[in-house]
Amino acid sequence: MRYRNEDDRLRRLEAALAEGTITTTDEAGEVVRLTGSGLQVGFELLRIADDMGLEDAYLLRPSDLPDDVAREAALWSRAEVREEHGTAAKAVQELCRAITQNEDDNHGR
């Protein structure tokens, strides 16, 4: 009986902690929670592409990014974005996925 009560309390605590976050995994496979819509990293990726003279941020490669931005993009590329997270989060995820897949592809560069 006591186990059920503690298990229930743990589930409620985990749900409360996860509320308003997006679940993803880091390079080691550990669960990480992202907050916000991802617009900050999205705009940072757009700025980097613009500074490089690229006409589209989808042409960026992970090696083009500073380490911290590359890590954030990798987290967003693996995020479990759902409809309730909004279209901005989905757009950022799609951009990050495209960038992480550009590793060995020059896309005409």
For 5-47, write each residue's pLDDT tens digit: 777 766 666 665 556 789 999 999 999 999 888 999 999 999 9
- For the chain, the average pLDDT equals 86
- CA distances 36 to 33, 40, 63, 64, 106, Å, are 10, 9, 25, 24, 31
- Where are the domains positioned within the chain? 21-101
For 63-81, write each residue's pLDDT tens digit: 999 999 999 999 999 999 9
Task: Point out which residues pair with 25 in neighbouring strands.
Answer: 31
Which position has the higher pLDDT, 87 or 6? 87
- CA distances 75 to 9, 38, 93, Å, are 29, 10, 9
